[in-house]
A and B are shown apart, each in its own frame.
Chain A
Amino acid sequence: MSHSHDRTISVEALARVEGEGAMHVEVADGRVEQVQLRIYEPPRFFEAMLRGRTYLEPPDITARICGICPVAYQLSAINAIESLCGIGTPDGMPMPDGIRQLRRLLYCGEWIESHVLHIFLLHAPDFLGYQGAIEMAADHRDLVEMALRLRKAGNQLLEVIGGRAIHPINVRVGGFHRAPTRTELQEMVPELLWGREAAIAAARLVAGFEFPDLDQSHTFASLRPEQDSLPPGATGYPIEDGRLVTNSGLDVPIAAWPEHFHEEHVEHSTALHGRMTDGGTYLVGPAARFNLNADRLPAEIADLAAEVGCAEAVTNPFRSIVVRAIETVYAFDEALRLIDAYDRPETPAVEVRPVAGTGHGATEAPRGILYHRYTLDEEGLITDAVIVPPTSQNQPAIEEDLLEFVQAHLHLDDDALQWQCEQAIRNYDPCISCSTHFLDLTVRRR
């Protein structure tokens, strides 16, 4: 069985990930020959379904790609369409501050909801040795109750601003259907103040977990808002906007995406694999965002990051759970700042007229950069759509990490190795449903 030189480990259906995936590892003569992250989520053909729909429909339709991060889909779609139609662009019609504030505030709600789901309900059970959060609750009821209350605070932001936590109904091209009043937002402040303190405690708690050794120096990619675009009081950690930057020196507008990144189709996955144009793998997500934008955190949160072991760039994927917790603190902090600054727009939306051509948009989904591109005809009908979700971009890098991780842990028996591999995969919070176009672990030891 387990300690022979040749073996195969298979996880046929990965648990605690969003969507359906599997993993296959082949070991021969004590060397890991192949690691495949298999995505068998049935294809849904969103990019094809969008053809012939109007320029106003992608926010509602693409939200349905993912029930965990619908706001990311809505706002990436909106960025692409509005940039094409001359809204919020340097020489176009300016977007009112109130609408920009509401969008970022809505997105803070999604970061909180998604990050807390992943940290406590999906990933913490690995570190604490439980099959899942329900089992964990038997011994750590206070922890699970705190997580559920934190999540509820995020969902409340989505309800009040978006009209619904899953697939918000109030988001549209141009703004919102109805802008909430200052009073409606201020009613959430006490719970958000509690949430910020609870999230700080949570960050200290997860920082105390044991992290297996793994050091991977990837190319990291994230968005980064331009300094001079920041409103007063904002530190500008990337969420709903920004230029495309990497730690290898890339710094370009979103419209330059196709020149630097592409997707390829491999047999073992219905998710396309993202690569840089030079063929290299890259990583998006919390660690990438943090490593490229730590200077954009408020001083108090930067100090917290240093205290919980993230003074330097985070290159151990197992520590991504700590980064998620830091970002959760930021999302609460930022939500409080935005509510304080909120200037209710006179009209909930600006009028957007269709323009023929191609528009590019991206935002920082909880799992990393989400890129959308639409081509419209003169009547505003979509003739072409391209959507690149974070998990597709990370998949080649995850396979590289796993190869190294499995090689270093071949001494473990199959069950232990399988669980550690699963934990390693969950480091990336892979969202398989999102792989519009993800995982089973099989390890074959021959």
Chain B
Amino acid sequence: MTEGIGRPTVAVWKFASCDGCQLSLLSAEDELLAIAGEIEIAYFLEATREVKEGPYDISLVEGSITTPDDAERIRQVRDLSTTLITIGACATAGGIQALRNFGDVEAFRSLVYARPEYVDTLADSTAIAEHVPVDLELRGCPIETSQLVEVINAILAGRKPITPTHSVCVECKLRGNLCVAVAHGTPCLGPVTQAGCNARCPAFDRGCYGCFGPAESPNAASLAAWLEEELAMEHPDLVRLFRSFNADAPAFRRESRRHEPEEEVAT
């Protein structure tokens, strides 16, 4: 650790995002003061004016890369950080703002801003890992506070964090949820979505909508075929189902593309 003080220095960075994932740290009400005693918060603008110069032992990065300046800033953050952890769907997959990757950003810019020339933006919203090497990623829209606390604990203890890569279906079974897809005919991304939320949606009689992105080796095509045959879902609905907060995660991107009208696929 830096300077030999003992407590690791932590920096929290924000790119294009809603602030929800870094807020998860402030929302660890029971653990926050204990954590703050074990680490040195060196840069966390949402929480403090105090800015200590890098390098930093751990950087938590929220948000996606959407502007030329941010593409440069993330390289500087990487250079200043021993361990770089991406937190949340924006940082790990480009976020909801990656919907622009399927459209025309010029059209988007002039639709929202009367003076588009004032707004500097890239054509795509991209994950942090597309720009710099990432040491660990925490999924979710938003991340789960318990997973963030686990990662910080693991780093402090010098062990590997426990973050499952199996699907939400496993969490439903462990929690004893009724299967909303089979029992209620509710479209559910649980079979192809990574665990971590403890199957929140099915526990509220709702289908999983994919906050944690694709699980390890997901069979999205098989799920889509089942949704078409059993629940009579049509292509535009399948496109929208796979195309939300993790729209540009490869497995979800491929599946949504497969259900687009022919002429739009041919690019």
Contact = CB atoms under 8 A, between A and B. Distances in A.
Interface of A: 13-20, 41-49, 51, 53-54, 57, 60-61, 64-68, 70, 117, 121-122, 125, 131-135, 137, 141, 144-145, 148-149, 151-152, 155, 163-167, 169-170, 172, 176-178, 264-267, 270, 272, 348, 419, 422, 433, 436-437
Contacts of B97: 44-45, 49
A131 B48 contact: yes
15 contacts: A16-B46, A42-B70, A43-B112, A43-B119, A45-B97, A49-B97, A67-B18, A67-B23, A132-B44, A132-B49, A164-B200, A170-B206, A176-B204, A177-B205, A437-B113
Tell me which of A13, A15, A67, A137 has the highest count of chain B C-beta atoms within 10 A of its own C-beta.
A67
Contacts of B170: none
Contacts of B203: 163
A31 to B, nearest CB: 27
Interface string B253-266: 00000000000000
Interface string B1-45: 000000000000011111111011011011011001000010011
Contacts of B41: 134
Contact of A66 (B19, B115, B245): B19
Nearest to B180: A177
A122 B105 CA distance: 35
B244 A47 contact: no
Contacts, number: 185
B206 A45 contact: no
Given A45-B108, A47-B111, A163-B201, A137 B103 contact: no
**Chain A interface secondary structure, helix, strand, loop or mixed?**
loop
A166 B146 CA distance: 13
A42 B66 contact: yes
B100 interface: yes
Contact of B112 (A45, A145, A170): A45
B50 A265 contact: no
Given A48-B112, A134-B36, 6 more contacts: A14-B45, A16-B46, A18-B19, A47-B111, A163-B204, A267-B115
A148 to B, nearest CB: 4
B109 interface: yes
A60 to B, nearest CB: 7
Tell me which of B29, B103, B118 has the highest count of chain A C-beta atoms within 10 A of its own C-beta.
B29
Contacts of A169: 200-201, 204, 206, 209
A48 B111 contact: yes
Closest 10 CB pairs of A and B: A67-B20, A132-B48, A131-B50, A48-B108, A177-B206, A42-B16, A44-B97, A15-B49, A152-B29, A148-B29
A265 B115 CA distance: 6
Contact of A135 (B33, B50, B112): B50
Nearest to A113: B27
Contacts of B24: 166
Contacts of A149: 29
A64 B141 contact: yes
A163 B177 CA distance: 14
B204 A64 contact: no
A115 to B, nearest CB: 14
Nearest to A170: B204
Given A45-B108, A167-B141, A68 B23 contact: yes
Interface residues of B, number: 63
A144 B19 contact: no
Interface of B: 14-21, 23-24, 26-27, 29-30, 32-33, 36, 41, 44-51, 63, 66-67, 70, 95-97, 99-100, 103, 105, 107-109, 111-115, 118-119, 121, 125, 141-142, 197, 200-201, 203-206, 209, 211, 240, 244-245
Contacts of A15: 45-49, 51
A68 B244 contact: no
Contacts of A164: 197, 200
B119 to A, nearest CB: 5
A77 to B, nearest CB: 14
A175 B27 CA distance: 26
B33 A148 contact: yes
Contacts of B108: 45, 48-49
A164 B51 CA distance: 32
A74 B32 CA distance: 28
Contact of A133 (B14, B19, B47, B113): B47
Contacts of A135: 48, 50
Contacts of B107: 48
A134 B23 CA distance: 14
A221 to B, nearest CB: 22
A437 B112 contact: yes
Tell me which of A48, A121, A163, A433 has the highest count of chain B C-beta atoms within 10 A of its own C-beta.
A48
Contacts of A53: 240
Contact of B18 (A64, A132, A141): A64
A16 B48 contact: yes
A446 to B, nearest CB: 25
A64 B95 contact: yes
Nearest to A384: B111
Contacts of A272: 113-114
B47 A67 contact: no
Contact of B19 (A13, A44, A68): A68
A166 B142 contact: yes
A179 to B, nearest CB: 10
Given A43-B121, A45-B100, A267-B115, A134 B48 contact: yes
